[in-house]
Amino acid sequence: MYRKAEDILETSPWQELTTGCEIYEGGTSRLVKTGEWRSMIPSWDESKCKQCLLCTPFCPDSSIPVTDGKRSDFDFDHCKGCGICYKVCPFGAIDWKEVE
Amino acid sequence: MIMSKRDRLSGNEAIATAMRQINPDVFAMFPITPSTEIPQYFAQYVADGKVDTEFICVESEHSSLSACIGAEAAGCRAISATSSAGLAYMSEVLYVAASCRLPIVLAVACRALTGPININHDYSDSMSVRDSGFIQIYAENNQEAYDNYLQAHRIGETPDVRLPVMICEDGFITSHALENIELEDDDAVKAFVGEYKPENYLLKHENPLAVGPYGTSPFYMEARVAQAEAMKNAKRAILDVAADFEKTFGRKYGFFEEYKMEDAERALVIMGSSAGTAKAAVDELRENGEKVGLIKIRVFRPFPGEELAEALKNCKAVAVMDKSEGFSSMGGPLFAETASACVNLENIPKMIDIVYGLGGRDFTVDHTKRVFARLEKIVKTGETGPVYSHFGQRDLREEVQ
Amino acid sequence: MSDMIEIRWHGRGGQGAKTASLLLADAAFMAGQYVQSFPEYGPERSGAPITAYNRISSERCSIHSNIYYPDYVAVVDETLLESVDVTSGLKEDGAIIINSEKDPKELRPYLNGYKGRVFTIAAGHISRKHLGAYFPNTPMLAAVVAVSKCVDPEEFLKNMRESYSHKFANKPQVVEGNLKCLADAMKEVRE
């Protein structure tokens, strides 16, 4: 049974789970919008950013997308607002505030 | 029908022979008495080039089954063998193997658990993990241990089952006793067992797979129900494989063996090598015209409750023989299952539990007759007496013996 | 199973009583019999008393208990007579076979009043003569066959030649030594 992870929901009856709860694809954590869990939120000031990319590997949720060697704005669907990027940025290009 | 070869082997060598014939992909092992000879024989097969199995010597039983879990998830046929404390140490990962639905086959030479420390036979070890989700199949002798092993992979690998299987033999009594055996031809065994072709596995590159996820409460219950359903499906698979085994090799197996039960008024429910000893007692008592019989449980998980109740329904008195102590203060695990199987019968036989044979305490033909004599008293008086008692211990209370 | 023969072996850990029981089962198996050979296991301690058993019959035996009323008892180490009740349950119409250079009469006082037949065999002496070392189990095996007739003695010798030739394919001199042990023991066992 090749049921996709996106089709396995909290409303699925047991017959619609996979055997042993196996998951037959990669990167399924994308489906879980952990951004909803935020109580704090980072913001990125592109003008202060030197593109040193120190923030990217520190992000525990892979929520700082990098394309062609340059970061862009946060993936707010998945950023949990932990503030680590704010702490490690050497140039004050990341701010971190309460969600309004 | 294929011709089999007459030989004489111990239970351990019989199981090792079955393993050699099946030629599994991975054998992860850590030695413990009395199952040690199984990997020992197998290591020789590896050294002699008789198998191309990856033979992994790990540092503990927790690791041996963990290695099997990794290997089986990767798409391999993985096996191990253990006993007693080794099985207890494995117990955490037994649940992982079963819930990940990985059809590993584990040979268990059943031995007492500590304490006092003891290396001899009873079912403390296998019974302590009866609820781990493994299928459990028990043998009376070396032949059955061999035959059960040949059927194990196919049962476990059945697509709507996909559960690990424990093939249990009695430590020392079966594992170390040399007896006659009919061995099947290597090619015939390979043809019967077949290739392992899982639908999904970790090394299938075109289909990435994640195994063993975290199951939050919205999913855990559903996963367990699915596992319970798989165990129910195993009943059909066990009978299907047994039917094909009989067709191929000529030896018949079911959930249990009914021995002289047709008109039996008094019966034992018993497991393993003791069942063989008890059969000799049944034969002797039958010669005196006594209507006695026995049921030898082969499959303990899944437990064949309905079928057992049907087989016992005409009995007047039944003694359930438990070779492990459950410390429930009301009987051992086989009694609990048998009693609950019979609870909806219209005429429930009088039923007692006898815990016997712990830590290698011998059980003889004469002992069996004493149990039948007690059942006779129950039938005559209509009084069940103590439902739960021990047998074979030195005891100041004369009445319990 | 009226033709079933039950044998109990007494020895000391390391002397080969268990092996003798296995060899006897092998010999009976080769003669077309149903066999059981099993030891009574405890912690393995060299020199400690051990017990091993054989059942031999023309039908498969389903009994898996120890043997309490043996037809024959084989004692691989004479010193056990003082510490172990070797004739316990031994049938009066059976026999006991003891590895000893003594006359059976001399040993009877140590057998708790056993009234059946008593045999001795100088197994150590025979083994030293033909194998140059103390392997009493081979002569003991032959003595048990000679006394119990649980296997036809001639067929036994023939099967054992085959078995040893296979087992010691690279050491043919050992084959002859072992066979001489067996043949001598069958002749020299005395009542």
Map out the domains of chain C with their CATH numbers: 5-188 (3.40.920.10)
Same-domain pairing of A50 and A71: yes
Best mutation target, A16, A21, A25, to test chain B (most B CBs within 10 A) = A21
| pLDDT of B399 strictly over 70 | no
Q: Are C34 and B180 within 8 A, CB to CB?
A: yes
Q: Are C154 and C182 in contact (CB under 8 A)?
A: no
Q: State the Cα–Cα distance between residues B123 and B107, nearest whole angstrom.
A: 14
The sheet carrying C5-12 orders its strands as B5-9, B178-183, C34-40, C49-57, C5-12, C72-75, C95-99, C117-121
Predicted local confidence at residue B204, as pLDDT: 87
For residue C73, give the 3-state DSSP assignment: strand
Over range C137-149, report the average pLDDT: 95
Q: State the Cα–Cα distance between residues C100 and C77, nearest whole angstrom.
A: 8
Which chain C residues touch B365 with a CB distance below 8 Å?
63, 65
pTM of the model: 0.94
Q: State the Cα–Cα distance between residues B61 and B64, nearest whole angstrom.
A: 5
- CATH number of B5-249, picked from 3.30.1510.10, 3.30.70.3190, 3.30.390.10, 3.40.50.970: 3.40.50.970
Over range C60-71, report the average pLDDT: 97
For residue C145, give the 3-state DSSP assignment: helix
The DSSP-derived string for B67-114 is: HHHHHHHHT--EEEEE-HHHHHHHHHHHHHHHHTT---EEEEEE-PPS
Backbone torsion region of residue B101, taken as left when φ is above 0, otherwise alpha when ψ lies between -120 and 50, otherwise beta: left
ipTM of the complex: 0.92
Q: Could you tell me if A68 lies within 8 Å of chain B, comparing CB atoms?
A: no
Predicted local confidence at residue A12, as pLDDT: 94
Predicted local confidence at residue C47, as pLDDT: 86
Q: State the Cα–Cα distance between residues B276 and B308, nearest whole angstrom.
A: 19
Same-domain pairing of A90 and A71: yes
Min Cα–Cα distance to chain B from A6, Å: 14
Over range C110-122, report the average pLDDT: 96
Task: Give yes or no on whether B5-249 and B256-400 have one common fold.
Answer: yes
Which residues are registered as beta bridge partners of C40? C51
Nearest to B162 among A15, A17, A19 (CB): A19
Q: Could you tell me if B124 lies within 8 Å of chain C, comparing CB atoms?
A: no
Q: Are B311 and B295 in contact (CB under 8 A)?
A: yes
Q: How many CA atoms lie within 13 A of C11 on its CB side?
A: 28
Q: Are B223 and A17 in contact (CB under 8 A)?
A: yes
Q: Are C64 and B170 within 8 A, CB to CB?
A: yes
| pLDDT of B200 strictly over 60 | yes
Place of tokens 């056990």: C80
| β pairing state of A66-67 and A70-71 | antiparallel
Predicted local confidence at residue A1, as pLDDT: 55
DSSP state letter for B184: P
Which of C141, C137, C131 is CA-nearest to residue C171?
Answer: C131
Tens digits of per-residue pLDDT, B332-341? 999 999 999 9
Give the pLDDT band (50/70/90) at residue B1: low
CA C132 to chain centre: 20
* Token representation of residue B88: 């207890």
Same-domain pairing of A77 and A90: yes
Q: Are B226 and A17 within 8 A, CB to CB?
A: yes
DSSP state letter for B314: T
Tens digits of per-residue pLDDT, C2-47? 699 999 999 998 888 888 999 999 999 999 999 999 998 766 678 8
| β pairing state of C5-12 and C72-75 | parallel
Which of A38, C93, A15, A78 is CA-nearest to residue B230?
Answer: A15
Tens digits of per-residue pLDDT, B355-367? 999 999 999 999 9
Q: Are C36 and B177 within 8 A, CB to CB?
A: yes
CA B292 to chain centre: 25
Over range A53-81, report the average pLDDT: 96
Over range B241-265, report the average pLDDT: 98
Phi, psi of B85 (to 5 degrees): -60, -30
Over range B193-217, report the average pLDDT: 91
Angle at A89 between CA A38 and CA A60, to 5 degrees: 45
Same-domain pairing of A20 and A39: no
| pLDDT of B400 strictly over 60 | no
Q: Are A21 and B213 within 8 A, CB to CB?
A: yes
Q: State the Cα–Cα distance between residues A24 and A8, nearest whole angstrom.
A: 12
Backbone torsion region of residue C47, taken as left when φ is above 0, otherwise alpha when ψ lies between -120 and 50, otherwise beta: left
Q: State the Cα–Cα distance between residues B74 and B69, nearest whole angstrom.
A: 8
Predicted local confidence at residue C43, as pLDDT: 67
Q: State the Cα–Cα distance between residues B388 and B319, nearest whole angstrom.
A: 10
* Cβ atoms within 10 Å of B40's Cβ, excluding its own: 15
Q: Could you tell me if B172 lies within 8 Å of chain C, comparing CB atoms?
A: yes
The neighbours of chain A, by the rule of 3 or more Cβ pairs under 8 Å, are: B
Give the pLDDT band (50/70/90) at residue C166: confident
Q: State the Cα–Cα distance between residues B107 and B42, nearest whole angstrom.
A: 13
Is the pLDDT higher at C131 or at B206? C131
Q: CA C189 → CA B295, B364, C97, C126, C154, distances in Å?
A: 47, 33, 8, 11, 16
| pLDDT of B401 strictly over 60 | no
Q: Could you tell me if B30 lies within 8 Å of chain C, comparing CB atoms?
A: no
Place of tokens 């067996």: C182
Same-domain pairing of A73 and A90: yes
Same-domain pairing of A52 and A100: yes
Q: Are C43 and B273 within 8 A, CB to CB?
A: no
Min Cα–Cα distance to chain C from B89, Å: 22
Tens digits of per-residue pLDDT, B310-323? 999 999 999 999 99
Give the pLDDT band (50/70/90) at residue A94: very high
Over range B137-165, report the average pLDDT: 98
* Token representation of residue B204: 């299938």
Same-domain pairing of A3 and A19: yes
Question: Which helix (H) or strand (E) element contains residue B26?
Answer: strand B26-29
Number of domains in chain A: 2
Same-domain pairing of A52 and A88: yes
Q: State the Cα–Cα distance between residues B127 and B131, nearest whole angstrom.
A: 8
B100, closest residue in chain A (CA to CA): A20
Class of domain B256-400: alpha beta
Q: CA B181 → CA B106, B255, C131, distances in Å?
A: 21, 21, 33
Which residues are registered as beta bridge partners of A98? A40
Boundaries of domain holding A100: 33-100
Q: State the Cα–Cα distance between residues B204 and B157, nearest whole angstrom.
A: 17
Domain harbouring A68, CATH code:
3.30.70.20
Min Cα–Cα distance to chain B from C89, Å: 14
Which of C98, C90, C97 is CA-nearest to residue C114?
Answer: C90
Domain locations in chain B as residue ranges: 5-249, 256-400
What is the average pLDDT value for chain B, to the nearest integer? Answer: 96
Q: Are A68 and A78 in contact (CB under 8 A)?
A: no
